[in-house]
Amino acid sequence: MYPLRIDPKHKDSLARTGVSRQFEQELRCSHAGETGAVWIYRGILATRPAGTLRAFATEHLKTEQQHLHLFESLRGCYRTSLLLPLWRMAGFLTGFIPALAGKQAVFATIEAVETFVDLHYQGQIQALNRRTQREAERAILNLFEICRLDEVAHRDEATQQRTVTPPRRLILWTTLVGAGSKGAVSLARHL
């Protein structure tokens, strides 16, 4: 288990002076993303009373809840997205729909989502790192990096379990999921 929480001394500093506008946007965006992630796994679990996919989703859900908890703990620094109900619903359907089609569709979906999330965290970390010298903000970026490494592990696990080449309709679905994730990020930065 890792310490996925902000050091109290940084938390005090953040509570006193807040964060820059860019940090505020990226925190809102990642809070929205981690909310969606929790609901993806809830969507999968809704279709599976038992079995290996249930075990996979339960394990991943635990990690996503820790990520969400981290962003919840920083809520004093930013306004959460006004579209949270939409992110929950979109997340749920992103898990539920492929789970109806079968395990391989779920693994391909998780692989696509986590590939996107890895790149998204990388972009955030690089961009924000350039814009701050502040210790408390740098501490937030270290936590982003811990989350990113978890997402990479999720992606790799899904890749390992995906044993068949995705059929055309599944490739269309994962392309749609990727495009939807991109659109959601742009919206959640501001809304």
- Residues in contact with Fe ion by the rule CB under 5 A: 34, 37, 64, 67, 151, 154
Smallest separation (angstroms) from Fe ion to the CB of 124: 13
Checking 112-115 for CB contacts under 8 A at 24+ apart, the result is 112/174, 112/175, 112/177, 112/178, 113/37, 113/40, 113/177, 113/181, 114/151, 114/152, 114/154, 114/155, 114/158, 115/155, 115/178
Q: Give yes or no for a contact between 10 and 175, defined as CB atoms under 8 angstroms apart.
A: no
Smallest separation (angstroms) from Fe ion to the CB of 150: 6
Smallest separation (angstroms) from Fe ion to the CB of 154: 4
Q: Beta-strand (E) ranges in 35-148?
A: none
The nearer residue to Fe ion, 137 or 150, going by C-beta atoms, is: 150
Smallest separation (angstroms) from Fe ion to the CB of 137: 20
The nearer residue to Fe ion, 26 or 64, going by C-beta atoms, is: 64
The nearer residue to Fe ion, 64 or 111, going by C-beta atoms, is: 64
Q: Which residue has the tokens 């997205």?
A: 81
The nearer residue to Fe ion, 72 or 135, going by C-beta atoms, is: 72
The nearer residue to Fe ion, 13 or 31, going by C-beta atoms, is: 31
Q: What share of the chain is helix, strand, coil (3-state, %, to 5)?
A: 80, 0, 20
Smallest separation (angstroms) from Fe ion to the CB of 168: 26
Q: What are the tokens at 164?
A: 């068949």
